[in-house]
């Protein structure tokens, strides 16, 4: 089965159905998830207005921190999760990275606990939770984090602190030096940044954070060239959601998007 096969016509007859909650104008998560997913997996979204995103889906040059926190505060996120969970799904994901950076480990745990009554018992994950599971599954301890250019240095530092709370050695982090425009980030210029700026730090794995970055096209070429694992925000939530949905066998069908899809979450990190 090819990972690029067309999905079922409306998605509801797919054998595995994943819901994703994203900012209102961010098409990146749904587009990348469906591009990677086998034909038997469908993706269904719910959207929340995000004040840092301008009309037309463009991000601010540097996103303000208050909306990042407000995105995960009740009642809007709770309502969005409840709405998408009312559909016949198998797992839920949050397609948003920076809020976990701001919440830190304890705040993120409290967030998932708060959302539990709205999930209809469905398993739920998000970018940072899935990334942690991915690092453990890949045996990666020395990690690098490539953040979107619309994250400022403070937000990037909070992301590094988040992963350090879980015992990872963050050998490099920072906003990538590319235009702060979702449409201007390409596999070529993103790969060049990782090759020249990140690779010299010799991480076990690099996370391209930020679900708004279209990054999955960099994964396989960079892994083959650089010899370390490359994971991205949308790749990890698909991988983790498939395992949480008891559809690990479908992850094995995804052959073009990195070593992660051959890995299994470790006990206690699923």
Q: How many CB atoms lie within 10 A of CB 73?
A: 12
| 245 alpha-carbon distance from chain centroid | 17
Q: Which domains does the chain have, with CATH numbers?
A: 16-128+234-262 (3.40.50.12500), 132-233 (3.40.50.1860)
Q: Which of 67-71, 75-79, 201-205 has the highest mean pLDDT?
A: 201-205
pLDDT at residue 33 above 80?
Answer: yes
Closest CA to 261 of 147, 105, 130: 130
Tokens for 11, please give them: 């998605």
Contacts of 73 (CB under 8 A, 6+ apart): none
The CA-based angle 137-243-249, given to 5 degrees, is: 100
Q: Residue 137: which H helix or E strand, with range?
A: helix 127-138
Q: What is the pLDDT of residue 54?
A: 38
pLDDT at residue 11 above 80?
Answer: no
Q: What is the pLDDT of residue 62?
A: 86
Asked if residues 169 and 135 have their Cβ atoms less than 8 Å apart, the reply is: no
pTM more than 0.75? yes
pLDDT at residue 71 above 60?
Answer: yes
> Looking at residues 232-239, what average pLDDT do you find?
97
pLDDT at residue 51 above 90?
Answer: no
Q: What is the CA radius of gyration of the chain?
A: 17
Contacts of 10 (CB under 8 A, 6+ apart): none
Helix axes 127-138, 233-244, angle to 10 degrees: 80
Q: What is the DSSP letter of 266?
A: P
**pLDDT bracket for residue 50 (50, 70, 90):** very low
Beta-bridged to residue 220, according to DSSP, are: none
Better-scored residue on pLDDT, 5 or 58 = 58
Beta-bridged to residue 91, according to DSSP, are: 18
**pLDDT bracket for residue 66 (50, 70, 90):** confident
Q: What is the pLDDT of residue 24?
A: 67
Q: What is the pLDDT of residue 53?
A: 39
Say if residue 255 is exposed, middle or buried (CB neighbours under 10 Å; 0-12, 13-18, 19+).
middle
Asked if residues 19 and 92 have their Cβ atoms less than 8 Å apart, the reply is: yes
pLDDT tens track for 172-185: 999 999 998 888 89
28-32, 58-62, 102-106, 189-193: lowest mean pLDDT where?
A: 58-62
pLDDT tens track for 240-254: 999 999 999 999 899
> Looking at residues 29-36, what average pLDDT do you find?
88
d(CA 27, CA 257): 19
């Amino acid at each position: 089965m090819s990972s690029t096969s067309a999905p079922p016509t409306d998605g509801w007859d797919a054998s595995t159905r994943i819901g994703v909650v994203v900012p209102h104008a961010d098409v990146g998560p749904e587009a990348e998830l469906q591009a990677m997913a086998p034909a038997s997996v469908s993706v269904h979204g719910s959207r929340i207005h995000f004040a840092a995103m301008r009309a037309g889906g463009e991000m601010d040059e540097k996103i303000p921190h208050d909306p990042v926190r407000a995105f995960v505060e009740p009642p809007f996120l709770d309502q969005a999760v409840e709405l998408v969970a009312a559909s016949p799904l198998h797992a839920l994901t949050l397609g948003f990275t920076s809020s976990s950076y701001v919440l830190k480990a304890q705040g993120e745990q409290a967030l998932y606990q708060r959302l539990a009554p709205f999930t209809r018992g469905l398993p739920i994950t998000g970018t940072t939770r899935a990334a942690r599971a991915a690092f453990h599954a890949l045996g990666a301890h020395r990690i690098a984090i490539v953040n979107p250019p619309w994250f400022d240095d403070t937000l990037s530092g909070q992301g590094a602190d988040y992963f350090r709370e879980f015992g990872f050695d963050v050998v490099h982090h920072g906003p990538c030096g590319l235009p702060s425009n979702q449409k201007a980030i390409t596999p070529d210029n993103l790969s060049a940044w990782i090759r020249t700026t990140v690779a010299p730090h010799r991480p076990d794995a690099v996370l391209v954070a930020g679900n708004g970055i279209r990054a999955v096209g960099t994964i396989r070429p960079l892994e083959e060239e650089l010899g370390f694992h490359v994971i991205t925000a949308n790749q990890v939530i698909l991988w983790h959601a498939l395992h949480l949905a008891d559809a690990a066998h479908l992850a094995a069908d995804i052959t073009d998007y990195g070593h992660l899809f051959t890995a299994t979450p470790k006990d206690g990190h699923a």
